Structure 1
């Protein structure tokens, strides 16, 4: 994907794209800003926007805040009815208003309270189907996934929306792990459009305890949790780990920030060389970090987002947790010294379980993937923050910091 394709969806040219899409729906674009960027060089670029739109109404009309999306380089999505495709002969861009995501057809259902009540009744979840149902968007990655909480005064469930071809696999992973006694959300039903209904878990996110300095599990409890993964997980389809994808994330950084392209590429090469050729047959969670863990009084009582569960390296799961805690230490307004100390504490604990050199290489690889974050969410000073994260990649690749 050429650099000008990224500019097309994030620069001034995007104004005309969004204004045209809104006008087609009967509105007037007031202003807009980029919320999220998913740039995959050579493949696709997808952007989410926060826009203010004036809709016809009394007086000057009603101005509402809307989530808009645009995707370039995904021709299959551009055939979906209700999605506006704008083609200038060089680029074909699909533009939509939330929840009309072309890759997530179940999202419109999941964001419709009446449709959710009907669906839950059909799936045998009547305690939530007895309305009124309140919906809250918990996460949204355009064209990839969304999570919506559906609740009534007496009950709640979560609606996980994925691409239709992924829902059966996701349901099977939840069923496998729940059946093995892991504290994962129990699957309650699904539909063919890509919507999976899952039960809530007890406790609160470990992210809160990490942020606020509360009690968190020690390294040994994290390892014990992973020890509970059934061997059958290693028979699932394998997904490339974060560290094994280091070159991809380096290319994303280089496309957004050419001045750091060489450093990012060199770090990626170093990571991939150190971990090359190692067997990947351990049962793994695949994306283990503090926001995926639920705690009650500092003890693990839940494990979320098992989408990536499958064969891999134990060091990848452990490295993922360390890298995420270290990244939180780099955020403005967070307790840098305490969080860095927690990351180091986990790393030392995990180094007694897996090879330390492999662990630090994989920590560096995950940190490299997270270095794409400032640009993806369009932080005000994302170039500087990207460089700060690359500095962390270098430090951890050299060994567990003091």
Structure 2
């Protein structure tokens, strides 16, 4: 049973309680402070102790949202017990929530809290406590398994739980901005149209949403095992989205935010020139290529969002929070970029990526697909930076190189 946070976008709350939006330089400074040795003093203050012994804490995860700020997670060992703390310079983090510490220093205002007392996710404590969660699940027995499978501080979390042998997925969303109600409405809209999405079992005012688990094998597992899954079969699930999804708010594709991810990578000086050059190339490519018509899209389609049956045909579509109007080429680009980002890049996955790229050329503009795939790879490179700035950034560099190859000579001369 595990509820230790792990490193899974937008809609920052506004109001007088929040700090002004930090510039990229401010975010780089905050990152340096929150991952440096001085962070130990901040953690000691939050824990109410004079000091923490050297080696008793480490940076576990870094969440950088360009334009909003930096949040860092720490594993702290005290008296043989590991506690998880987070510190954030995010402007979307309120400064007046109980059980938080607000400190002002070189990184500006920083909010510190102990997991699971996330300032914007009040239901997280309930979701991470078997005794508190049990009443929210159908069944008479206790919660016998609990695993925090995804956590984006201040934004959302996903917990897998089991009760009476039945698996459930529990989403923890921000109640203040209506995310929970929106997610529930999307699931019900798609389910009514026959799209194979998880059914909503419960939704509470504090942002706790309980979903039935779907049967099936993750698409990635099937692909690694050598299953033959044509791209048409994968996209058939997306193409079954009802026309009513066109009335939902549009979400900017990953490639449209290339400059934000370029800035996120620029906190590592060795990658700054390449990242910003690639972002420029993606932006030029977006202007020069044809994205095609506006259609219902998933918005964040990748191999982790799909389940398949024994015949390798899709049986489930997950994480439909981003469903809405968009361009099919962006869903395909997201799918291809994530395949390229899987580690290790097996021959089976590389073969699938090549086949799907060729198949996609029959219904989306190949140049538009290359540019948008590069944009998604740029976003994944930003997410691949290691928590410790002193560690090598080989994976981020690998993804940058893959993106540069897609945009060809547009950037190569600047390397």
What is the rounded CA distance, in whole Å, between the counterparts of 1:186 and 1:244 in structure 2?
32
Q: How does 1:8-27 map to 2 (within 5 A)?
A: 8-23=33-48
Are residues 1:231 and 2:243 paired? Answer: yes
Contact 2:141 2:164 in 1 (8 A): no
Are residues 1:398 and 2:381 paired? Answer: no
What is the rounded CA distance, in whole Å, between the counterparts of 1:313 and 1:113 in structure 2?
41
Are residues 1:352 and 2:362 paired? Answer: yes
What is the rounded CA distance, in whole Å, between the counterparts of 2:245 and 2:82 in structure 1?
43
Once the two structures are overlaid, the 10-residue window that deviates more, 272-281 or 346-355, is: 272-281
What is the rounded CA distance, in whole Å, between the counterparts of 2:185 and 2:131 in structure 1?
27
**Secondary structure, aligned partner of 1:69:** strand
What is the CA-CA distance between 1:76 and the residue it aligns to? 4.3
Contact 2:44 2:50 in 1 (8 A): no
Q: 1:335 to 1:241 in 2, by over 3 A?
A: closer
Q: 1:248 to 1:350 in 2, by over 3 A?
A: same
Once the two structures are overlaid, the 10-residue window that deviates more, 225-234 or 130-139, is: 130-139
What is the rounded CA distance, in whole Å, between the counterparts of 2:395 and 2:345 in structure 1?
16
What is the CA-CA distance between 1:11 and the residue it aligns to? 1.1
Q: Among residues 311, 333, 338, which one is paired with 2:325 in the alignment?
A: 311
Contact 2:72 2:88 in 1 (8 A): yes
What is the rounded CA distance, in whole Å, between the counterparts of 1:301 and 1:91 in structure 2?
48
Structure 1 match to 2:253: 241
Are residues 1:48 and 2:73 paired? Answer: yes
Q: How does 1:198-209 map to 2 (within 5 A)?
A: 198-209=211-222
What is the CA-CA distance between 1:40 and the residue it aligns to? 3.0
Once the two structures are overlaid, the 10-residue window that deviates more, 361-370 or 35-44, is: 35-44
Contact 1:22 1:28 in 2 (8 A): no
- Unaligned runs of 5+ residues in structure 1 are 55-62, 121-125
Structure 1 match to 2:294: 281
What is the rounded CA distance, in whole Å, between the counterparts of 1:261 and 1:76 in structure 2?
27
**Secondary structure, aligned partner of 1:395:** helix
Q: Among residues 130, 149, 158, which one is paired with 2:141 in the alignment?
A: 130
Are residues 1:302 and 2:316 paired? Answer: yes
What is the rounded CA distance, in whole Å, between the counterparts of 1:335 and 1:390 in structure 2?
15
Deviations 1:78-121 (A, max 9, x none): 2110112222386221111111111111101111222212233x
TM-score norm. by structure 2 comes to 0.85
Give RMSD over aligned pairs: 2.4
Q: Among residues 109, 117, 132, which one is paired with 2:126 in the alignment?
A: 109
Once the two structures are overlaid, the 10-residue window that deviates more, 266-275 or 186-195, is: 266-275
Structure 2 match to 1:197: 210
What is the rounded CA distance, in whole Å, between the counterparts of 2:50 and 2:86 in structure 1?
14
What is the rounded CA distance, in whole Å, between the counterparts of 1:236 and 1:190 in structure 2?
20
What is the rounded CA distance, in whole Å, between the counterparts of 1:395 and 1:28 in structure 2?
46
Contact 1:187 1:198 in 2 (8 A): yes
Once the two structures are overlaid, the 10-residue window that deviates more, 194-203 or 266-275, is: 266-275
What is the CA-CA distance between 1:6 and the residue it aligns to? 0.8
Are residues 1:35 and 2:60 paired? Answer: yes
Q: Which has the higher helix share?
A: 1
**Secondary structure, aligned partner of 1:173:** helix
What is the rounded CA distance, in whole Å, between the counterparts of 2:369 and 2:92 in structure 1?
39
What is the rounded CA distance, in whole Å, between the counterparts of 1:184 and 1:379 in structure 2?
39
What is the rounded CA distance, in whole Å, between the counterparts of 2:92 and 2:252 in structure 1?
25
Q: Which has the higher contact order (CA 8 A, sep 6+)?
A: 2
Structure 1 match to 2:265: 253
Once the two structures are overlaid, the 10-residue window that deviates more, 72-81 or 144-153, is: 72-81
